[in-house]
Homo-oligomer: A and B are copies of this chain.
Amino acid sequence: MIMIKQPKTIAFQGEPGAFSELAARKLLGESVKTVAFSWFDKVFQAVMSGKVDAAMVPIENTLHGSVHENYDHLLKNELEIVAETQIRIVHNLMAPPGVSFKQIKRVYSHPVALSQCLDFFAANPQFQRETFYDTAGSAKKVMQDNATDAAAIASEYAAQLYGAKILKRAIEDDKANFTRFFLLYRPKAKFHHPEGDQWKTSVVFAAKNQPGALYRAMSAFSLRDLNLTKIESRPLRGKPFEYMFYLDFLGKASDPVSQRALAHLAEFADFSRVLGTYPRGR
């Protein structure tokens, strides 16, 4: 757990019980005050306006990839990444108490969660998949509807929160299903990190319109033995051969070697920006 000076309010997207709320509690402790918003743009607005102190947002999932929408919001809103954490995504089938597995005809959840339980649906072709707003919201829905033929796929925490009974645990296809979350603050907000952690820095940059531009930009890190933990291109449409890149490397942005690498990168990029530097999540 990361040390903070005073209790904070943390915005997240989804219904109470969402994985983002779990991530906030994992990183900041059970007593943190979380505030639910339906959409990511509202989450970012809430931090920018000072309505809440910080936000916890998913940035990538091992199976589903990067959440580009949140990278866009990060670039637009100038919030700073101050911490990262990872949550193992465990999907559970749940229904109101008293409803048995055999009664289930429809299964509600977020489309991403449904698409991560394909083996389960292949083994149970009697289930109709129904998309819903979010995972925790689908648990809330089947409980509110007092459904006798419908179930939801959500976290164990959502089952506890809404009083649903878990009929089958861990129905996800791939147990290596993790989501990485960023804790975001307004720039220069105070956040205390423990000493001795390994650090990570997240950068976004646009490569110059030249062959091999990315290779040259990456040499900024490889020549200095700075390990990359993420690289991802994103096409800039209307500009053929031009791309934006998301890059994470192991190192603290203020370290001299990182400073030199970032200066080297800036030399070979049209644009570059550090999104944040933070201790590597466990």
Chain A positions within 8 Å of B, measured between CB atoms, are 38-41, 60, 62-69, 72, 110-111, 114-115, 118, 121-122, 129, 131-133, 176-178, 211-212, 214-215, 218-219, 222, 225, 227-238, 241
Contacts and interface: CB of A to CB of B under 8 A. Distances in A.
- How many copies of the shown chain assemble into the complex? 2
A222 B38 CA distance: 44
B131 A132 contact: yes
A234 B62 CA distance: 7
A63 to B, nearest CB: 6
A211 B110 CA distance: 37
A231 B233 contact: yes
Contacts of A231: 214, 231-233
A225 B211 contact: yes
Nearest to A133: B131
A207 to B, nearest CB: 10
A233 B230 contact: yes
A157 to B, nearest CB: 21
Contacts of A67: 65
A177 to B, nearest CB: 8
A118 B241 CA distance: 28
Given A63-B68, A63-B69, A227 B241 contact: yes
A152 to B, nearest CB: 14
